[in-house]
Structure formats: C-alpha cells, structure tokens
Structure 1
Amino acid sequence: MDDLTGFQRDLLYVIAGAAHPSGQDVKEEIEQYYSSEINHGRLYPNLDTVVNKDLVEKGQIDRRTNYYAITEAGEQAVEERQEWQSQYID
C-alpha cells in the first residue's frame, strides 16, 4: 500500500466499505469526501491501478457497468495501514 497515491488509498477504503460498488458509486462517495467533482480521466485510471495491483477485483454487472470488490490482499493492506496509523493517532 505504500506505493499507492493518497487518492488510490481513498478509493481502496471506499471499495472496502461497500458491497460491490459500481464505478459510479465509488465516484459519488469519493466526490462527497473531496467536496469536488472527480472526472472520469482521474477516477478510472486510478481504479485500474488498484485492480492491477490485485488489491481490488473488477467484474461486470452489465455491458456498461463494472463493479469493484476488495480482494484478500486489499483487505490485508487496509488492515496493515490502519495498524501503522494507529501508532500515531490515539
């Protein structure tokens, strides 16, 4: 997880906290957190990065819609990150 950008980590957390969200679902959640619009040119390449790193699985809901799901490696990366952060934050 140390080689991910902050944005990619945020995407991973959103996906970990949802049940098979679509790309649009992820976009809506991340836009709420960032309080700004996230364009497709930023969102989908970063989703592809976490998929290519085997932290997230990408599947197809229908011909136009994909879903994203956290993998076991992704869950472990989130847990390790939380453990690391907890030593600095009460």
Structure 2
Amino acid sequence: MAMRNFYKEIKGLKVKELPGYLKPMFSVSYAKNAFQRGLDNYHAKYIETSSIDPLYHVCFGGMALSYLLALPEERRHLEHLQHAREHGGH
C-alpha cells in the first residue's frame, strides 16, 4: 500500500524534480518520524484494542530470529556431513 501511494506521488514529477523530492526522505529526522508513525500505528491497531496479535508477533519473530541465527552453524554442519560421506567418513 505504501509503495502504491509513493508511486502515485512521484508519477506526476519530472525526472529533474525527483532528487529534490526524494532528498528529504533520506534524512535522520524523516526516518525518526517515519519510525514513530509506525509505532503509533502499531499501538493504535494492536495495543489499544487489547489484541493478542502482539504476542504472536513476538513468538513468531523470535522463532524466525532463532532460525536465522542458527542457520550458518547448521549449514556448516551439513557441509561437514556431506564432505565426510564423500570421503568415506561417518
């Protein structure tokens, strides 16, 4: 949805106008404001409504993070097993 709105906004601009339009979006203050708006929207949508969804977000986010952090070790382990099978070990 945000990409669609962004596209609608820049669709009418000329190429020369585009850098001037995009430059303020790459400032620290713009990023802080965008992050704060996102937190405010999340709070209004989930926290204020006493929804159980934030608990799901924490659980599934923790699972995904755990998987991603363990992935390099698992890949090394699987490569070691494959190498051992090729050379008669294990």
- TM-score, length of structure 2 as denominator length: 0.30
Higher alpha-carbon Rg: 2
- TM-score, length of structure 1 as denominator length: 0.30
More strand by share: 1
More helix by share: 2
Larger RCO: 1 or 2 (CA < 8 Å, sep 6+): 1
